[in-house]
């Protein structure tokens, strides 16, 4: 039913965000101007400015009902973290003042001892610091009837090492800004003061009924089903994709949108995805720092609102075998503070030369640093997706589409290309031919696809922060631009030098271009011939960070030091091992304490049926055959469960070497889990549904 009392998006948009508009309204003009200079990196934040902003922020939050504030940050656990402090300051007479200082706004000191550090600190070294990220607006969050002011922050150790995902990304954005400005100024673009990295994540997720979720220990403890066989109907009819949204889900989506719009998050697109009960939500582009914060809030909001609607949001990359898993497409590009998208063709020949220079530099960056780009999308859940004919392969390649690909091929070969004016294209002298608005078709099998004015990195997992991929892509681009800037600045004719670089970039790195079907076996073989890496698992992928050229890249641009890189690899390997260990433990419990008793009961029922039939002289060969098959499968289940425990014990005893342990989980525990699942799923197909101990895929995927 249409709600006549709905006031419209404009009336609620940004009401819970202390955004630029609100700051302009509530701050003195001089303070606001100084703060904008701070945001643009032109000066540091003074104590005086921070004090005025803190007071205005506090007054706004109190008017909204806030009682506490928190420094909201993103530690290496993959989730967000917060420690709440009240605004109250007691008076001697028993009353209180509501206070919030500039010092409290700028910096906090949460206990860092329990957050993973990968060996950067011993556990008794508790001190960590949160520092206000001035580029991301503060916002309000409701906790029941209470409201808290949340201040987006970075998280660092006492000695300055990054303890979160955001600090390296912000550093990488600064590094790209420096190098991109050098390139632009060498080409005569002196009006540009800042180059910004942009991101626009598309978030996929599943919804399941809360009651069914509560009856599945694997979903509750791991986020995915470690057992489960597909129902008679899956996604093969393609009827769910872009289909009509059911009322229950539509109501959920409406509340999600309202909550996000109140935070100033521009939730734009929502639709049914390919798999049953799978959906997608996309936000409008913003700077990568804000986009990363927004995406974390999107995931949190999906979870909270789903709970209020009697559902659970699943963000695991592969909650269900047999249907598509969930990814997160990270739309990435770079642009100037003058409003120019550097990933989009220009209006005149000089702008086209700039476009081709940055465009081919991205191609070079992706080819050169493919292993760590692959690593940026690595986690245990994503191992189930990548290369599985539902997501991009584990091979990094770039899809350009026919139009721009043909132009670059002809330029590299020295062939003639017709220009926009009808003559022959000459870089920087005549214009590129007119490109259609949709300059490329969509290629869902490509991990890195050009879509007309940006690149879509399609490998990220649903549960992952986009900070990881943004950090790697942005740092890699900064390095390529650094080399280009050196050449342009040393050249007497920068435009001619740019022409040479464009051709070199494409000729030397065209091997990474592939416009075909990334799912095909032929592409895997072809990629091998081209020398493109095919890294099949998280454990292998993460080791790419430890290569000398990877560490040199991060150190050169002051994004991460060697110890910070090594600590991250340690944390990610430990996380992988812990995740697999939990999944294996749940699987063992379900096999022994749920599946076995249920099947044994069913077998006993069949035995009783056989006895009754024989007593009445009725043939029962089919029942006996079924009972025999069940017995064989049940014996196989118990044997596979025992083998899994043995593999877990072996891997668990290797904790002194995180790399060796992670490989043990990948190479021994995971195959043992796959073997056990075969028996469990086979028994589910044979056992009376009324006896089966947990909800089926049919219950989970077709019941909203």
Here the CATH number for the domain that contains residue 619 is 1.20.120.1560
- Among 164, 193, 221, residue at a domain's last position: 164
Does residue 567 belong to any structural domain of this protein? no
Does residue 538 belong to any structural domain of this protein? yes
- The answer to whether residue 102 scores a pLDDT higher than 60 is yes
- Domain match, 549 and 593 both: no
- What 8-state DSSP symbol labels residue 448? E
Judged by average pLDDT, the poorest of 175-184, 191-200, 427-436, 591-600 is: 427-436
Give the angle subtended at the CA of 573 by the CAs of 570 and 574, to the nearest 5°. 85
Does residue 3 belong to any structural domain of this protein? no
Here the CATH number for the domain that contains residue 556 is 3.30.590.10
Query: What are the tokens at 304?
Result: 């909270």
| Alpha carbon 31 to its chain's center | 36
Does residue 154 belong to any structural domain of this protein? yes
- Domain match, 134 and 177 both: no
- The answer to whether residue 117 scores a pLDDT higher than 70 is no
- Among 139, 164, 189, residue at a domain's last position: 164
SS3 sequence of 34-86: HHHHHHCCCCCCCHHHHHHHHHHHHHHHHHCCEEEEEEEECECCCCCECCEEE
- Domain match, 40 and 15 both: yes
User: Residues 320, 199, 280, 405: is their CA dihedral positive or negative?
Assistant: negative
Q: Residues 687-697: what's their mean pLDDT?
A: 95
| Residues 677, 384: Cα–Cα separation, whole Å | 14
Q: Residues 526-554: what's their mean pLDDT?
A: 96
- Domain match, 337 and 467 both: yes
Q: Which residue has the tokens 């056990």?
A: 676
| Residues 140, 127: Cα–Cα separation, whole Å | 26
| Residues 584, 580: Cα–Cα separation, whole Å | 6
Instruction: Give the number of domains in the chain.
Output: 3
Q: Is the pTM of this model over 0.85?
A: yes
- Domain match, 152 and 186 both: no
- Domain match, 121 and 190 both: no
Does residue 565 belong to any structural domain of this protein? no
- Domain match, 60 and 111 both: yes
Does residue 214 belong to any structural domain of this protein? yes
Q: Residues 302-326: what's their mean pLDDT?
A: 96
Does residue 149 belong to any structural domain of this protein? yes
More confidently predicted of 238 and 402? 402
Here the CATH number for the domain that contains residue 49 is 3.10.20.70
Can you state the angle between helices 166-186 and 467-490, rounded to 10 degrees? Answer: 20
- pLDDT given at position 85: 84
More confidently predicted of 278 and 272? 278
Domain encompassing residue 626: 574-701
* Residue 452 confidence class, pLDDT cut points 50, 70, 90: confident
Q: Which residue has the tokens 């003195």?
A: 28
- Domain match, 136 and 184 both: no
Mean residue pLDDT across the chain = 90
Does residue 418 belong to any structural domain of this protein? yes
| Residues 28, 50: Cα–Cα separation, whole Å | 12
- Domain match, 629 and 580 both: yes
- Domain match, 528 and 647 both: no
- Domain match, 425 and 496 both: yes
- pLDDT given at position 1: 43
- pLDDT given at position 615: 84
- Among 496, 531, 560, residue at a domain's last position: 560
- Domain match, 107 and 242 both: no
């Amino acid at each position: 039913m249409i709600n006549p009392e709905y006031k419209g998006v404009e009336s609620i948009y940004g009401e819970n965000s202390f955004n630029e508009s609100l700051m302009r309204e509530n701050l003195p003009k001089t303070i606001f101007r100084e703060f904008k200079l701070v945001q643009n990196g032109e000066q540091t934040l003074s104590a005086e400015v921070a004090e005025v902003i803190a007071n205005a922020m506090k007054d706004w939050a109190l008017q909204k009902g806030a009682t506490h504030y928190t420094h909201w940050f993103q530690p290496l656990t993959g989730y967000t973290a917060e420690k709440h402090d009240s605004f109250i300051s007691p008076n001697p007479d028993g009353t209180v003042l509501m206070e919030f200082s500039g010092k409290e706004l700028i910096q906090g000191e949460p206990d860092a001892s329990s957050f993973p550090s990968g060996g950067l600190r011993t556990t008794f070294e508790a001190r960590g610091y949160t520092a206000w990220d001035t580029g991301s607006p503060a916002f309000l969050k409701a906790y029941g009837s209470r409201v808290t002011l949340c201040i987006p922050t970075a998280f660092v150790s006492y000695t300055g090492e990054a303890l979160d995902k955001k600090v390296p990304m912000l550093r990488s954005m600064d590094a790209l800004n420096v190098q991109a400005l050098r390139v632009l100024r060498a080409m005569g673009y002196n009006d540009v003061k800042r180059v910004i990295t942009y991101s626009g994540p598309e978030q996929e997720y599943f919804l399941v009924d809360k009651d069914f979720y509560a009856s599945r220990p694997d979903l509750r403890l791991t986020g995915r089903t470690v057992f489960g066989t597909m129902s008679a109907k899956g996604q093969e009819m393609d009827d769910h994709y872009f289909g009509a949204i059911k009322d229950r889900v539509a109501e959920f989506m409406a509340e999600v949108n309202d909550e996000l719009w109140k935070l100033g998050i521009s939730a734009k697109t929502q639709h049914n995805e390919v798999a049953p009960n799978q959906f997608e939500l996309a936000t409008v582009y913003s700077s990568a720092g804000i986009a990363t914060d927004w995406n974390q809030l999107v995931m949190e909001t999906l979870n909270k609102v789903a709970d209020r609607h009697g559902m659970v949001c699943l963000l695991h990359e592969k909650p269900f075998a047999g249907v598509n898993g969930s990814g997160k497409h990270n739309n990435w590009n770079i642009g100037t503070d003058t409003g120019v998208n550097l990933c989009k063709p220009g209006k005149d020949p000089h702008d086209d030369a700039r476009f081709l220079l940055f465009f081919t530099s991205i191609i070079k960056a992706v080819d050169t640093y493919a292993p760590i780009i692959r690593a940026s999308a690595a986690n245990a859940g994503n191992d189930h997706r990548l290369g599985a004919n539902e997501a991009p392969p584990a091979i990094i390649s770039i899809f350009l589409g026919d139009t721009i690909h043909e132009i670059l091929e002809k330029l590299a070969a020295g062939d003639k290309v017709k220009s926009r004016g009808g003559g022959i294209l000459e870089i920087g002298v005549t214009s590129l031919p007119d490109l259609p608005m949709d300059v490329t078709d969509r290629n869902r099998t490509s991990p890195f696809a050009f879509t007309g004015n940006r690149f879509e990195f399609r490998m990220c997992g649903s549960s992952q922060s986009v900070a990881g991929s943004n950090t790697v892509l942005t740092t890699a681009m900064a390095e390529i631009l650094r080399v280009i800037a050196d050449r342009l600045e040393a050249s007497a004719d920068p435009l001619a030098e740019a022409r040479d670089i464009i051709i070199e970039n494409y000729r030397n790195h065209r091997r990474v271009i592939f416009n075909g079907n990334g799912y095909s076996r032929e592409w895997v073989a072809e990629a091998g011939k081209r020398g493109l890496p095919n890294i099949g698992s998280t454990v292998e992928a993460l080791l790419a960070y430890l290569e000398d050229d990877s560490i040199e890249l991060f150190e050169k641009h002051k994004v991460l030091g060697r110890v910070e890189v090594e600590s991250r690899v340690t944390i990610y390997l430990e996380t992988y091992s812990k995740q697999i260990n939990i999944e294996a433990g749940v699987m063992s419990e379900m096999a022994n304490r749920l599946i076995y008793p249920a099947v044994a009961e069913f077998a006993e029922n069949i035995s009783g049926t056989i006895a009754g039939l024989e007593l009445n002289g009725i043939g029962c060969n089919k029942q006996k055959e079924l009972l025999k098959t069940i017995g064989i499968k049940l014996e196989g289940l118990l044997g596979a469960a025992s083998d899994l425990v043995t593999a877990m014990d072996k891997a668990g005893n290797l904790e002194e070497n995180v790399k060796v342990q992670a490989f043990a989980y990948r190479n021994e525990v995971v195959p043992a889990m796959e073997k056990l699942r075969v028996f469990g799923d086979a028994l589910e197909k044979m056992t009376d549904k009324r006896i089966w101990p947990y909800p089926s895929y049919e219950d989970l995927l077709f019941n909203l």
